[in-house]
Chains A and B, each alone.
Chain A
Amino acid sequence: NAGVTQTPKFRVLKTGQSMTLLCAQDMNHEYMYWYRQDPGMGLRLIHYSVGEGTTAKGEVPDGYNVSRLKKQNFLLGLESAAPSQTSVYFCASSHGTTWNEQFFGPGTRLTVL
């Protein structure tokens, strides 16, 4: 039981490049989330999904897209990376609504030059 895994762990991009971050969970959770964490800012929700085939915007969705084609996977895409997207990205999943705890992945450290 691996829990929540994220790929890659580190990445350096140049401004304008694109990339996809992959999140996978093996707990059969319905809800999945993408957050970014910046120094002193806590976690801010980018996008989330309440089930396969559904996605919704969070607090800071601009510049990101997501897809949830399979229940166990949640992909975060950056179409044209900007230095402001330099951050640590965390994926999380939960069984259901906010009555349930969230399980977090180890994070992806992204630097955009």
Chain B
Amino acid sequence: SQQGEEDPQALSIQEGENATMNCSYKTSINNLQWYRQNSGRGLVHLILIRSNEREKHSGRLRVTLDTSKKSSSLLITASRAADTASYFCATDGDNYGQNFVFGPGTRLSVLP
């Protein structure tokens, strides 16, 4: 069973707007990571947030983590057409940190 579930499944916005994606998970975690996948390519790591952190920034990306609600959000500000991709959250499995569990992803389309 999947640990993380992204919401929404698909999101379409105009260039310049902000995009927010959410990830919910079921069991306690040590950290949560977000990845991006451009069409037909492998995943690329975006950001890691530890369980004792509430917010983290990287360029136009802002990630929040609420461990009491078992949820995280990824905000992309001032979106660009190049941000069009699928975004996945990945959480620790219950296997002593040996592997991740990925959610089904959010497909983001940024229209010019």
B99 and A99 contact, CB distance less than 8 A: no
Q: Which of B40, B99, B102 has the largest number of chain A CB atoms within 10 A?
A: B99
Whether A106 sits at the interface, judged by CB under 8 Å, is yes
Number of A-B contacts (CB under 8 A): 64
Docked-complex contact B45 and A41, CB < 8 angstroms: no
Contacts of A48 in B (CB 8 A): 98-99
Given A98-B98, A99-B97, A102-B100, residue A43 in contact with residue B42 (CB < 8 A): no
Instruction: Determine whether the beta carbon of A42 is less than 8 Å from that of B43.
Output: no
> What mask results when residues 72 to 113 of chain A are scored 1 for a CB within 8 Å of chain B, else 0?
000000000000000000101000011101111111000000
Q: Does B12 contact A (CB under 8 A)?
A: no
Interface string of A32-50 (1 = CB under 8 A from B): 0101000011111100101
Contacting residue for A104 out of B43, B98, B99, CB 8 A = B43
Chain B interface size, under 10 / 10 to 19 / 20 to 34 / 35 or more: 20 to 34
Check if A101 sits within 8 Å of B33, measured CB to CB.
yes
Q: Which residues of B contact A31 (CB under 8 A)?
A: 98
Q: Which residues of A contact B45 (CB under 8 A)?
A: 101-103
Q: Is B25 part of the contact surface with A, judged by Cβ < 8 Å?
A: no
Task: Give the contact-size bracket for chain A.
Answer: 20 to 34
Q: 0/1 per residue, A48-74, Cβ < 8 Å to B?
A: 101000001011000000000000000
In Å, the complex CA distance between A56 and B105 comes to 25
> Other CB < 8 Å A-B pairs besides A50-B98, A59-B101, A98-B31, 19 of them?
A31-B98, A42-B2, A42-B102, A43-B88, A43-B102, A48-B99, A90-B43, A92-B42, A97-B96, A97-B97, A98-B30, A98-B98, A98-B100, A99-B31, A99-B97, A101-B45, A102-B35, A102-B43, A102-B45
Q: Which residues of B contact A (CB under 8 A)?
A: 2, 9, 30-31, 33, 35, 40-45, 48, 88, 90, 92-93, 96-105
A residues in contact (CB < 8 Å) with B: 4, 31, 33, 35, 40-45, 48, 50, 56, 58-59, 90, 92, 97-99, 101-107
